């Protein structure tokens, strides 16, 4: 996937079969107490991933992946440029499965200093049947 296929985070993406992907509610915050993957008070960005299933079947989200990077060109290098994901009481999991004509959402956090939020690229791989889609966070 090239930078030309990276879209702004405030745009939704629709696959030809009817699955829709959207990142929304993106905002800076800090890690809450009792977090896994970071210390309380560290800077993060919080985002809600929404999957709208308008396909002909349910969507299995067991292998759903979100990865984030500061650099679109290095996002596909395993671990090389990835930003750490945090789990705490603010995060949530995507329902599995998502029945047809229903929407599921999950909340994710990534360790990102506030000054770097506008450089973040988030890649979403909904399942094994859909190619990854990339979103650029360009403001906040």
Which region, left, alpha or beta, applies to residue 9 given φ > 0 means left and ψ of -120 to 50 means alpha? alpha
**pLDDT one-digit tens code per residue, 63-119:** 999 999 876 555 555 544 678 899 988 899 999 999 999 999 999 999 988 778 888
Q: In angstroms, rounded to a whole number, what is the distance separating the alpha carbons of residues 32 and 89?
A: 7
Cβ count near 13 (within 10 Å)? 17
Q: In angstroms, rounded to a whole number, what is the distance separating the alpha carbons of residues 69 and 83?
A: 5
Cβ count near 105 (within 10 Å)? 17
CATH class of 3-136: mainly beta
The residues near 115 (Cβ < 8 Å, ≥ 6 apart) are none
Which of 34-38, 40-44, 136-140 tops mean pLDDT? 40-44
Percent of the chain residues topping a pLDDT of 90: 61
Is the preceding omega at residue 51 within 30 degrees of 0, hence cis?
A: no
SS (H, E, C) 95-107: CCCECCCEEEEEE
* pTM of this structure: 0.88
Contact call for residues 22 and 124 (beta carbons, < 8 A): no
- DSSP letter, residue 93: P
């Amino acid at each position: 996937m090239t930078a030309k296929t990276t879209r702004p985070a405030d745009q939704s993406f629709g696959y030809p079969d009817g699955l829709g992907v959207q990142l929304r509610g993106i905002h800076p915050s800090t890690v809450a107490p009792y977090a896994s993957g970071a210390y309380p008070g560290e800077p993060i960005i919080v985002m809600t991933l929404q999957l709208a299933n308008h396909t002909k079947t349910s969507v299995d989200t067991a292998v759903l992946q979100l990865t984030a990077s500061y650099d679109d060109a290095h996002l596909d290098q395993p671990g090389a440029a990835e930003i750490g994901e945090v789990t705490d009481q603010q995060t949530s999991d995507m329902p599995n499965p998502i029945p047809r004509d229903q929407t599921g959402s999950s909340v994710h956090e990534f360790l990102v200093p506030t000054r770097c939020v506008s450089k973040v690229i988030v890649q979403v791989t909904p399942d094994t049947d859909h190619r990854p889609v990339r979103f650029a966070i360009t403001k906040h």
